[in-house]
Structure 1
Amino acid sequence: MLLPWVILFSILGSVGAVAGAALLLLFPEATRKFLLPFLISYAAGTLLGAAFLGMIPKALDIAAPMDVSRTVLAGIVLFFLLEKAVIWRHCHDEGCEVHSGAGPLLLIGNAFHNFVDGFVIAAAFLTSIPFGIAASLAVIAHEIPQEVGDFAILLESGYSRLKALVLNTLSSMATLPGAVIAYFFLGETEQAIPYVLALSAASFIYIATADLVPDLHRKTGPGAGVTQLVLLAAGIGTIMLVQI
């Protein structure tokens, strides 16, 4: 029975990310700013690894290559448009001016994004348990630095720390209904699984390349580059190991 796995890792993917972000917020600001680039590098690796080593190959096992490629391409364009509409958004900079003061919109966008993460987790588990775990780890890894930015934006918007924590947790819990709905929907409509996987891959690729990697380029110098490359490879390696 896969449903308990889906529920467990959906909860871990949502609450775990919020808890990790809340823990980071307890650190001094200098320490937090020092750690975030490392987390972002690792998260980018897990996203790319899950997309290119898991989701796309598994989708290709079920559907025609051209159909999968078209779906991935359409997904990337879709997520670009959603981000332009400030629905699909990520901010890892605590001084992010674009979203400052946009607490309610941020919470709505976060709930939508986490609902989609639930679909990702369910589709991955319906493919295999190891791949479901790998996809869940990728979700957790990229959500933690995002949640740190979200907390900062909510605090700047006038929310107390407790209210920001409660509201962020509630919006993150949208992962669970998304996963349960996807589990039953995809269980009845198995032919949709490769296309959900392809769209999931598109979201992971977009988040990694459009949101996370540009943040990494703010750190210059050979030392920063080597560290980022090592952590990027570590993220990819984690996905490879979990799927074995």
Structure 2
Amino acid sequence: MENTFWTALATSSLAAVVTSVGIYTVRKYTDWGQRNITYFMCFAAGVLISASFLHIIPKSLAMNPNAAPYLLVGFLGLHLFNRFFTAFVCQKNPEKEQYGIGLVPMIGIGFHSFIDGFIYSIAFTVSIFTGVLATAGMVLHEFPEGIITYLLLVKGGFHERKAMTLSFFAAALSTPLGMLISYPLISDINEQMLGALLSVSAGALIYVGATHLLPRAEQEHKKYSFVALAGGVLVAIIIVLSKA
């Protein structure tokens, strides 16, 4: 059991490192990142939406046949937060008008990364092999998640250093944190509960991709935006196949 804990901690920390590398890379080459943010948004939308429909939702329903309403909770929950934030923060503080562009995706991605930590705990408790398979699939999507979280925070008006800090906590640190919090509670986190949490995270990710990323990307009319979207879908398919 002790070896399982350290293995789960090491792999969830690896996911955080991969995300941090993505954040650091785009932070170092900020101008390049800003010029190509449309492509990153399309790519991230492809990954988040496709992975949700092809893997997270089917998996949540397999774990909990009643998980569908939680999908709606995740979607509407993030929508209501966006409405609340826009009404009570952005409109009353004109200098923060664009903050929602970065904060809403950050919350959606952060919650999903936190639930990823739960999956590391449970997967390695089942068996080392199951944990390794889960790690291979999840690490693939960590890099783009870190990049898009950072870029959208910058686009929303956050200072680069603050955007880097927030994206690190939301997209990177949340995974090992989720693992550490969930590991002592493994016996209480049954399959149905995890299925419900996965469904909530899927709803949040679909909201981020469909209402925040794609519409803003379409406004830019970049020449190869569809290619970037298709690339994100392809990566999602690879993630699904790696977990099959």
Q: TM-score, normalised by structure 1?
A: 0.71
1:23-58 Cα shifts (integer Å, max 9, x gaps): 2233262x2233322222222222223212222212
Match of 2:74 in 1: 75
| Aligned residue pairs, count | 222
Report the Cα distance in structure 1 between the residues aligned to 2:164 and 2:145, rounded to whole angstroms.
18
* CA distance 1:226–1:5, change in 2 (3 Å): same
Q: 1:1-244, aligned counterparts within 5 Å?
A: 3-4=5-6, 6-27=8-29, 29=31, 31-64=32-65, 67-86=66-85, 97-99=97-99, 114=110, 117-123=113-119, 126=122, 128-129=130-131, 130-151=133-154, 153-155=157-159, 161=161, 165=164, 169=168, 172-190=172-190, 191-220=192-221, 223-244=223-244
Q: Note the C-alpha offset of 1:187.
A: 3.8
Report the Cα distance in structure 2 between the residues aligned to 1:230 and 1:48, rounded to whole angstroms.
12
Tell whether the 8 Å contact from 2:45 to 2:214 is kept in structure 1 after alignment.
yes
Q: Note the C-alpha offset of 1:148.
A: 2.7
* CA distance 1:3–1:111, change in 2 (3 Å): farther
1:91-120 Cα shifts (integer Å, max 9, x gaps): xxxx984229xx9xx6xx958963652223
* CA distance 1:125–1:243, change in 2 (3 Å): farther
User: Which amino acid in the other structure matches residue 82 of structure 1?
Assistant: F
Return 5+ residue gaps in structure 1 as ranges.
88-94
Name the SS for the 2:98 alignment partner.
Answer: coil
Match of 2:89 in 1: none
Root-mean-square deviation (CA), in Å? 3.6
Identity over the aligned pairs, expressed in percent? 20
Report the Cα distance in structure 1 between the residues aligned to 2:16 and 2:117, rounded to whole angstroms.
11
Report the Cα distance in structure 2 between the residues aligned to 1:110 and 1:236, rounded to whole angstroms.
20
Q: TM-score, normalised by structure 2?
A: 0.71
